[in-house]
Amino acid sequence: MSVLETLMRRRRRECDERRRYVAELERLGERLRADAEQVCREVAQAGTAAPLAERHAKLERSVAAIDDQITAARAALAAIEQELARHELARARRGGTEGADGPAPRRRARSDASRRSPTI
């Protein structure tokens, strides 16, 4: 396996991990938003209950923090995907047969006779 192929495998694995991380953050954000909406409804029903209003404010801050993390995670994912695309393009330009048919054939080394200077 070539260095490029190893690097591509690592980038693919990083992309998969980042995608899972972004998905987890998005699910957490959805749950926090649902909790914040529920608390908001409870505040509306109870009037101005201080503990509920405090909890709602805390949930809103958490939602904002998660949104920032999601934005950063998506940017990191995009950067890794872009790097992977560059490596895949480089591999395609080089022929891209490595891995499917085994390593690319190596050039034969020159023999000692061809390296010597000609004698007159």
pLDDT band at 117 (very low <50, low <70, confident <90, very high): low
Let me know if residue 111 belongs to a domain: no
pTM assigned to the model: 0.69
Q: What's the burial of 96, exposed, middle or buried (CB within 10 Å: 0-12/13-18/19+)?
A: middle
Domain range enclosing 12? 3-96
Let me know if residue 24 belongs to a domain: yes
Let me know if residue 27 belongs to a domain: yes
In whole angstroms, give the CA distance from residue 114 to residue 92: 34
pLDDT band at 100 (very low <50, low <70, confident <90, very high): very low
The number of folded domains in the chain is 1
Let me know if residue 105 belongs to a domain: no
In whole angstroms, give the CA distance from residue 92 to residue 40: 54
In whole angstroms, give the CA distance from residue 2 to residue 90: 13
Number of neighbours of residue 56 by Cβ within 10 angstroms: 20
Residue 37's pLDDT is: 94
Which tokens belong to 49?
A: 């209950």
Residue 34's pLDDT is: 96
Which tokens belong to 114?
A: 């061809």
